Chains A and B, each alone.
Chain A
């Protein structure tokens, strides 16, 4: 059985191909302004990597992410909340809290023992705590995303960033830069402010270990560390690229549809 998951997010498109619940291939590309094109391009790349000549070789495909309604070849679409939880739970069966930080939103899901989402909260009204925020800060501080993560880990006395708003946080950062505050401390402060926002979201659904980070921003070790400090628990590392957790979840659900014969529309 061959199935696919395609997660079209605001910043990147992800595709995963699975055979009998094992990953055969996956790809990540930057999103274009046309979700259909992003979906097709990333899926074609994943197919090629899996040495499959055509999408017709897949038995079932689930689309997810902001562009989920625009994945032309998907048999069904499932929300990214369900998919991220599912993917994270497959990667780490003991997970109970998933913090997903994507390009334009962040969400926290609490999971039951069976991996089912019990409750979720979402911030998609402002850029604070999203990939866009970190991109903007890396630009202001001229350090790149990787540099941002490294600087955050070096900060000894995190500067206080009071603003929860990305635009005003940027103004605060510029003020601190002009005051001559150590760059690492500013960056550490930025991460602490985002982590404290995530902390309050986690408290809304209830903190239960294990906790994992998913989404593109999960690759930021500085953020993982800042979140650990706020939550006072260890944030577990996933064994695979955390950015594809949603696409994995989508592919897992596709596989389940095939094995349980609960397909919504013909492949």
Chain B
């Protein structure tokens, strides 16, 4: 699908998906700003922003090989972990002033284990302990984890993260979420003004640069899209659901077959912005814990939430008038493995066709992807 977007902001977002250190981020660095990378969207970015640093989500963009990192992993580790750690070993993350890991999955845990041992030039490497259930006890646990990280950030970077600065950061990040949600609202139209691949670029860029600048650029894009002539040549409207997907090219292959992606449940998508951090609580650490553990649209990392996840996805499919659903999963991702099977059952009962796709971190085997998507659209009579 051809792009219809002309704004400079989108060009910068698109650029940010193709490099690790994009021009906006480089500019921040040149002005003396510090950058902390974090793994998995369950790490509270707000805490890093409140420390006066720029949080960026870890990606392995541009990696073409895992030959240096393979020795550190086993044959059942995912290609994201391999590519990401390969870049760490070859010094591509030297621009980072710190890294925050989380036990979101075993693959990422092993990146942490290897990082502290074999990448000595990163001065600040921390790991958070994320609970697996979403009840009040676990929220309290994660609040303690957040306060622990808060203390470590304060100590290492010589800053003070007061409740006031933390609330300020929460409000800034909530504004990002509001703007992103506005963008998704436009996609509900019969002729969405932005494609799924373009939206993914916007979402990825949001995790790759200072939020204030990002929000301004996103406002510029929203202005352009308001009242813009949308896409109409698609054969079907699709929702995409899965784990770490940061490559717009992948979505582009799907859309080139005629399946316009109009919404998602992705951690570079609605899962990080559909709901906001509750600003009415008194303790900002508590508010963050409640958001990241209990309030956000759930990821299969959490136990006992499958029915809520299925409901979220089915409701979303209907809200965005989706004809079908694509479940993507990285090979060896155990978290999404069983989830997609169960979702398949739920969606079948709801009468929504589903295509399951296994993939590698880098978009490859395009011919095979194309055949599956084309056949899927044909089964829907499109």
Residues of A at the B interface (CB closer than 8 Å) are 66, 78-82, 116-120, 122, 124-125
- Looking at the complex, which one of A66, A117, A125 makes contact with B378 (CB distance below 8 Å)? A117
Q: Which 6 A-B pairs have the closest CB atoms?
A: A81-B375, A79-B375, A82-B378, A79-B374, A117-B379, A124-B368
Contact B371 A122 (CB under 8 A): yes
Bound complex: CA of A124 vs CA of B375, how far in Å? 14
- Quote the shortest CB–CB distance from A209 to chain B (angstroms): 21
Closest residue of A by beta carbon distance from B373:
A79
Q: Which residues does chain A contribute within 8 Å of B358, judged by CB atoms?
A: 125
A78 to B381: give the CA distance in the assembly, Å: 12
Query: Does B168 touch A at the CB level, under 8 Å?
Result: no
Is B372 in contact with chain A by the CB < 8 A criterion?
A: yes
Q: Is the CB of B372 within 8 A of A118?
A: no
Contacts of B227 in A (CB 8 A): none
Contact B372 A116 (CB under 8 A): no
Residue with the greatest number of chain B CB neighbours at <10 A, chosen from A78, A79, A81: A79
Contacting pair A122 B372 (CB below 8 A): yes
Among A78, A119, A122, A125, max chain B CB count under 10 A is at A119
How far in angstroms is the closest Cβ of chain A from B78? 15
A78 to B378, Cβ gap below 8 A?
Answer: yes
Closest to B381 in A: A116
The count of residues in chain B whose C-beta lies closer than 8 Å to any C-beta of chain A is: 11
* B363-377 to A contact mask, C-beta < 8 Å, 1/0: 001011001101100
Considering the chains assembled together, what is the distance between the CA atoms of A114 and B220 in angstroms?
Answer: 50
Cα separation A82 to B365 with both chains bound (whole Å): 20
* Total A-B Cβ pairs within 8 A: 35
Closest to A80 in B: B371
Return chain B residues, CB-CB under 8 Å to A78.
374, 378
**Nearest chain B residue, comparing its CB with the CB of A67:** B367
List 7 contacting pairs A-B, 8 Å CB cutoff, sorted by A: A66-B367, A79-B374, A116-B379, A116-B381, A122-B368, A124-B365, A125-B365
**Which listed residue (A66, A117, A125) contacts B375, Cβ 8 A?**
A117
Q: What per-residue 1/0 map shows which CB atoms of B341-382 lie under 8 Å from chain A?
A: 000000000000000001000000101100110110011010
Q: For B365, B368, B375, which residue has the most chain A Cβ atoms within 10 angstroms?
A: B375
* Given A81-B378, A118-B379, A124-B368; 10 other pairs, CB 8 A cutoff: A66-B371, A79-B371, A79-B375, A80-B371, A80-B375, A82-B379, A117-B375, A117-B379, A122-B368, A124-B365
Across the interface, name the chain A residue whose C-beta is closest to B379.
A117
**How far, in Å, is B119 (CB) from chain A's closest CB?**
32
Q: Are A120 and B367 in contact (CB under 8 A)?
A: no
Bound-state CA distance A34–B365 (Å) is 19
Question: Chain A: which residue is nearest B371 at the CB level?
Answer: A79
Q: Are A79 and B367 in contact, CB atoms less than 8 angstroms apart? A: no
Residues of A within 8 A of B365 (CB): 124-125
Measured in the bound complex, the distance between the Cα atoms of B380 and A118 in whole Å is 8
Q: Nearest chain A CB to B251's CB is how many angstroms away? A: 19
Docked CA distance A124–B358 (Å)? 11
Between B358, B374, B379, the greatest number of chain A beta carbons within 10 A of the residue's beta carbon is seen for B379
Contact B375 A120 (CB under 8 A): yes
Distance between B148 CB and nearest chain A CB, rounded to angstroms: 42
- B379 cross-chain contacts in A, Cβ below 8 A: 81-82, 116-120
**Closest chain A CB from B360 CB (angstroms):** 10
B8 to chain A, nearest CB (A): 35
Q: Mark B106-117, 1 if CB is under 8 A from A, else 0.
A: 000000000000
Contact yes or no, B381 A81, CB < 8 A: no
Closest to B354 in A: A119
What chain A residues lie within 8 Å of B375 (beta carbons)?
Answer: 79-82, 117, 120
Most A Cβ at <10 Å: residue of B368, B374, B378 = B378
CA distance A78 to B374 in the complex (A): 8
In whole Å, how far is B199's beta carbon from the nearest beta carbon of chain A? 26
